[in-house]
Amino acid sequence: MRSLSGSHGSQKGGRYIIDDPRSIFYIPADKKVVVYFEWDGPLGTHHVEGFWKNPEGKAVVFSDFNFEAKQSRMAAFWELDLTESMTPGMWALEARIDGESAGTHTFQITVAPKPASSEPVRHMLEPAEIYKLASDATATIEKLGPTGVRQSSGSGFFVTEGTLVTAFQLIDGAGKVRVTFPDGHRTETDQVLAYDRLQDWAILKVTGSALSKLVRAPAGSWSVGDRCFTLNTPTEGNRVLIDESITGSHTFPVVGDRLNLANLEAASAVGSPLVNEYGELIGILGGSLFPGIPSRGGFMGTQTVAQLREGSLATPISLVPTPEAGAPARSLAQLQQAGDFTPSIVEQPELMYGTISAAVAHKKGEIAFSKDSKTEFNRQDPRCSVLLVWNPKAKAKGEIKLEIYDIYGHLVIQSKPSAVDLRPGHLLSSSWNLDLSVLKNGTYRVDALQDSNPIWRAFFKLTD
């Protein structure tokens, strides 16, 4: 998963910590090189070997041992004493597990005075220290609707006094946001200092602050395989530390960079900070790939694009700017007026279900049904079909229509309104056929509206 080197390290809480991570070593100032490897692999006993190779590629020192892995994450370290007779240049330590190559770490040995470091030494923290630092900076965020009713909850964290960072999806469509501080006291805000709905981040202006603030990690200081931590919330108000790892990094069209994480956290953990082993901020848990799709869970009566991943996504903190002191804020109402919010679904108890599919079939005397339900279409598909099935409990009449929006929230297709006459005990269906040839490749939101209120939502993707 990763490898590090330094001139000294120590055992802390069952972990080996490199105290001064670097890849250049100076003779005669440095007395040894420590190389640390971390892997993910099967449990059980493994035979581990280390081959120190000089600049000519020859193995000059060898050591081996047996290791009992009681968890999938395993680690080992080797030490090489430095002497003045050693050949300067690029050295390497090749690690082998059970006879198979398990990674090579390279470092440079030079004969020169060791330069004085102008940067402060970064020290890896114990998990307990990271938990305290992160939990003391993390608040609970509740999205309140126009009438003040709570719609959902998540997390956010402080980076400066009165500045709370969270995922945009947590404020999408909010009338106000209620913030519960780590010490339990509450405040409400509707002020947004900065946001990006496509990158899924927002910075809120709040009155008050937390016990601690999180500091950004140096730019470009994380990579795939790095160990990191976040806070999960198995129950509301109960935060637990999750030992994470970065399993991938990808740049998506339009929405930008995302980090892939190994674990899938609860919906209420969205907006939590992602920090490295130094307790420095590297990302925001969430990273929705389409505005309107929550990272976890879903809407009642909503079908979403299949998310083919086992873990979570996070938005890198490098995408989030630092607001200038005194920067003006915008209200949530202004974001609503600008069209940056996704309208909330209005629950319709008479609606039984809805689907997107390749076609809708009708059999005489029976209710319509979908054929080949799916959410990804290509240019060979002539159309996609939308089907809503009603199971009325009360009499009602109204109009229903379909609206299609692109990833920017622009309306691209709108159907003509059609009448719907609901009668108890009579199943009823409403269906539409969408011509895909008029759309560009991308991801689209489908809203079914009854009397101008969105009552059902789905998403589909169009590719070549």
CATH of the domain at 38: 2.60.40.1930
Query: 162 and 286: one domain?
Result: yes
**Burial tier of 316 (Cβ tally within 10 Å: 0-12, 13-18, 19+):** buried
Query: 93 and 138: one domain?
Result: no
Q: Which of 249, 259, 197 is nearest to 407 (CA)?
A: 197
Which stretches of 24-173 are DSSP H helices? 127-137
- Coil, strand or helix at 337: helix
Within a domain: residue 119?
Answer: no
Report the alpha-carbon distance of residue 357 to residue 400 in Å, rounded: 19
Most confident of 8-17, 286-295, 447-456: 447-456
Domain end, chosen from 64, 82, 111, is at: 111
Judged against a pLDDT cut of 90, whether residue 317 lies above it is answered with yes
Query: 141 and 63: one domain?
Result: no
Q: Which of 97, 141, 109, 93 is nearest to 31 (CA)?
A: 109
Query: 130 and 105: one domain?
Result: no
Judged against a pLDDT cut of 50, whether residue 309 lies above it is answered with no
pLDDT (mean) for 30-35: 95
Q: Residue 118 has what pLDDT? A: 52
Q: What is the count of structural domains for the chain?
A: 3
Q: Residue 121 has what pLDDT? A: 66
Judged against a pLDDT cut of 50, whether residue 348 lies above it is answered with yes
Q: Residue 266 has what pLDDT? A: 82
Domain end, chosen from 317, 342, 367, is at: 342
Q: Residue 351 has what pLDDT? A: 93
Query: 208 and 320: one domain?
Result: yes
- Residues ≥6 apart with Cβ < 8 Å to 366: none
**What are 226-237's pLDDT values in tens digits?**
889 999 988 777
Domain end, chosen from 66, 82, 111, is at: 111
**What are 49-79's pLDDT values in tens digits?**
999 999 999 999 999 999 898 888 889 999 9
Judged against a pLDDT cut of 90, whether residue 345 lies above it is answered with no
Judged against a pLDDT cut of 50, whether residue 37 lies above it is answered with yes
Query: 356 and 334: one domain?
Result: no
Query: 337 and 356: one domain?
Result: no
Query: 338 and 355: one domain?
Result: no
325 C-beta neighbours (distance < 10 Å), count:
6
Q: Residue 303 has what pLDDT? A: 38
**What are 408-424's pLDDT values in tens digits?**
999 999 999 999 899 99
> Can you give the residue range of the structural domain that contains 388?
351-463
pLDDT (mean) for 389-405: 92
| Residue 197: pLDDT band with limits 50, 70, 90 | very high
Query: 313 and 360: one domain?
Result: no
Within a domain: residue 118?
Answer: no
| Residue 145: pLDDT band with limits 50, 70, 90 | confident
Within a domain: residue 120?
Answer: no
Q: Residue 15 has what pLDDT? A: 75
Q: Residue 413 has what pLDDT? A: 93
Which stretches of 104-149 are DSSP H helices? 127-137
Contact 167, 293 (CB under 8 A): no
CATH of the domain at 451: 2.60.40.2550
Within a domain: residue 323?
Answer: yes
Judged against a pLDDT cut of 90, whether residue 307 lies above it is answered with no
Most confident of 74-78, 88-92, 261-265: 88-92
Query: 173 and 104: one domain?
Result: no
Q: Residue 306 has what pLDDT? A: 39
Question: What pTM value is reported for the model?
Answer: 0.79
CATH of the domain at 256: 2.40.10.120
Within a domain: residue 368?
Answer: yes
Query: 375 and 457: one domain?
Result: yes
Query: 320 and 197: one domain?
Result: yes
Q: Please report which helix (H) or strand (E) contains residue 414, including its range.
A: strand 411-414
Question: Which residue type sits at 31?
Answer: K
Q: Residue 14 has what pLDDT? A: 66
Judged against a pLDDT cut of 70, whether residue 5 lies above it is answered with yes
Q: Residue 297 has what pLDDT? A: 46
Judged against a pLDDT cut of 60, whether residue 299 lies above it is answered with no
| Residue 208: pLDDT band with limits 50, 70, 90 | confident
Q: Residue 163 has what pLDDT? A: 93
Q: Rounded mean pLDDT of the chain?
A: 89
**What are 423-449's pLDDT values in tens digits?**
998 899 999 999 999 999 999 999 999
| Residue 298: pLDDT band with limits 50, 70, 90 | very low
pLDDT (mean) for 320-345: 90
Within a domain: residue 250?
Answer: yes
| Residue 13: pLDDT band with limits 50, 70, 90 | low
Within a domain: residue 117?
Answer: no
Contact 78, 63 (CB under 8 A): yes
Report the alpha-carbon distance of residue 154 to residue 62 in Å, rounded: 51
Judged against a pLDDT cut of 80, whether residue 305 lies above it is answered with no
pLDDT (mean) for 319-344: 90
Q: Residue 2 has what pLDDT? A: 84
Within a domain: residue 43?
Answer: yes
Report the alpha-carbon distance of residue 170 to residue 165 in Å, rounded: 11
